[in-house]
Amino acid sequence: MSAPVSTLPSGFISADDVLHDRLGASEVRRLELHYGNAELLYGLELLGVAGPFSRVTPWELEDENGVRRINASGYAATPFGEMPPVLTDFLHGFLDHNRSMGLPQQSSAPWRAALEANLIRLLARELPSHADSQVFFCSSGTEAVEGALKFAKAFRPDSKFQISFGSGYHGKTLGSLSLTPNPEYQDIFRPLVPGALTVPYGDLDALKALIRRVGPDKITCVIVEPIQGEGGVNIPPPGFLSGLGEYCRKHGIVVIADEIQTGLGRTGHWFESAAQGLDPDIITLAKPLGGGMTAVGATIARHDIYKKMLGGLSSKRHSNTFGGGALAMAVGLKSLEYLIENDLPARSLELGRVGLERLRATQQNYPRLLENVRGQGLLLAMQFQPMLGVPLPGVLKELVFEATALLALRELHESGVMANLSLSSKRTVRLTPALDMPRDVFDTLFDRVDDFAKRRPVSRDLLTGTPPVLTARLAKFAASKPKKRTPSDG
């Protein structure tokens, strides 16, 4: 069947051109360099990881040259890989049969109702105190955190301070950014939302001391990732989360568990907070709920907290246009169903043990490349030795750390593995494979990681193994001011 001819004015790109792959990879990059987030794209292009990539199977992608790689990237938001049949098959049916409103802001809606109910029933199975909690949907992780912070403040209107943890990551809109203590992301935007306080992650005594010093009544909330994701996969010491919960409960401080990365199976449990003995008042979810295909965020709050912000005529005090839309909710509902029916959190825990063992073996064989590996479930981290061992001043050290991770990402890519950087941990590269990745693909993934380490057994090799022209271009890029980019820039 020939593709329909577009009647767009010349210079415009038709949706059919994109659908039928008529744009071409180099044209895609050219357009992005010109009209999009050019500097990011340019950096990725220099590293040879800019894509675009196409799906071969849900777990494997190929580039324009037909080179296939196993996808362990996706920042934990692709729980079933790319275009998983469970969702694509379902979406055909959805498009054929759905008759409910697309964006039912001011009416009840079946897809949203079903997902609300299933999420709370799932949560209450793990944490029975949440049986009458309620959900508010949105379209990203950071928006789910914004909602959580507003719920907490509305519940404790006379309080002023919010506590988060060092290396924590909660998003980049202003409220969540205020609680993401990373100068790289925060500094230029100061002053941020006032009242953010930071405590070292995992340090319960420091948390208690801070709360005592400030006064519990002045603290609105504590927001915590049950395992830090962007911070480089940091697992807190046993007793930290349960102790945090107990102490905050005693003082009426709202506890927000940010489960955007950990939740719904990534770390091997439905809710990592519950698995670690924390019964939070508010839970944020996002990434896996969208099945890797669309944007779904959710803020779940206990009934008394929910009604304080959204009670009676104030029920429009927090709202959005797209949250709860039919397509997003349908994908969310089907994704949750697939997770439940296949008990993917349990699979993640089990497979994660295998993956971590493989990484440990690689680290033991190549300790001059890998300083440390860690993880739980399918949230796995490799922390690299810095490429330059000499003591360096702060800024330069950070730059070396970052360059180490970038070159490691490049080399992994060349070895057939797509991995993630860590937004708040410069020399940590993470692997977040799909929770349903077949065992043979999973094993090949770790064979390839091991091959990469064999090729570059010492972190310095990441630098010496990089073509000098590329090193020079990367250095020039790091030192340059933003400008209009073209693919041939150097």
Ligand X SMILES: Cc1ncc(COP(=O)(O)O)c(C=O)c1O
Q: Which residues of the chain form contacts with ligand X (CB under 6 A)? A: 75, 140-142, 145, 169-171, 225, 229-230, 258, 260-261, 286
Contact 294, 277 (CB under 8 A): no
Least Å distance, CB 171 to ligand X, is: 4
Q: Nearest distance from residue 420's CB to ligand X, in Å?
A: 10
Q: Of 58 and 168, which has the nearer Cβ to ligand X? A: 168
In the bound complex, what is the minimum distance in angstroms from residue 244's beta carbon to ligand X? Answer: 16
Q: Which residue is nearest to ligand X (CB)?
A: 141
CB 419 within 8 A of CB 330: no
> What gap in Å lies between CA 62 and CA 25, rounded to an integer?
12
Between 234 and 466, whose beta carbon lies closer to ligand X? Answer: 234
325's tokens: 């839309």
Of 427 and 485, the one with the shorter C-beta distance to ligand X is: 427
Which of 261/404 has CB closer to ligand X? 261
Find the shortest distance in angstroms from Cβ 260 to ligand X: 4
Nearer to ligand X, 231 or 245 (CB): 231
**Which residues, other chains included, contact 403 with Cβ-Cβ below 8 Å and sequence gap of 6+?**
387, 463, 474, 478
Q: For ligand X, give the closer residue by CB, 142 or 459.
A: 142
* Beta carbon nearer to ligand X, 82 or 143: 143
Q: What is the smallest separation between the CB atom of 335 and ligand X, expressed in angstroms? A: 15
Q: Which is nearer to ligand X, 261 or 363 (CB)?
A: 261
How near is the Cβ of 21 to ligand X at its closest, in Å?
28
Phi and psi at residue 71, in whole multiples of 5°? Answer: -90, 105
Residue closer to ligand X (CB basis): 329 or 462: 329
CB 68 within 8 A of CB 61: yes
Q: Least separation, in Å, of the C-beta of 76 and ligand X?
A: 7
In whole angstroms, how close is the CB of 281 to ligand X at the nearest point? 17
Rounded to the nearest whole angstrom, what is the least distance from the CB of residue 77 to ligand X in the complex?
7
- Choice between 51 and 229, CB closer to ligand X: 229
**Minimum distance, C-beta of residue 160 to ligand X, in the bound complex (Å):** 23
Least distance to ligand X, CB of residue 5, Å: 38
C-alpha distances out from residue 2 to 5, 11, 13, 50, 54, Å? 9, 22, 17, 31, 22
**Identity of the residue, 153 or 430, whose beta carbon is nearer to ligand X in the bound complex:** 430
How many Cβ atoms sit within 10 Å of the Cβ of residue 310?
A: 19
Q: Which residue, 295 or 330, has its beta carbon nearer to ligand X?
A: 295
User: What is the distance between the alpha carbons of residues 457 and 466, in angstroms, rounded to a whole number?
Assistant: 14
Torsion of CA 138, 230, 261, 39, to 10 degrees: 50
CB of residue 408 vs ligand X: minimum separation in angstroms? Answer: 20
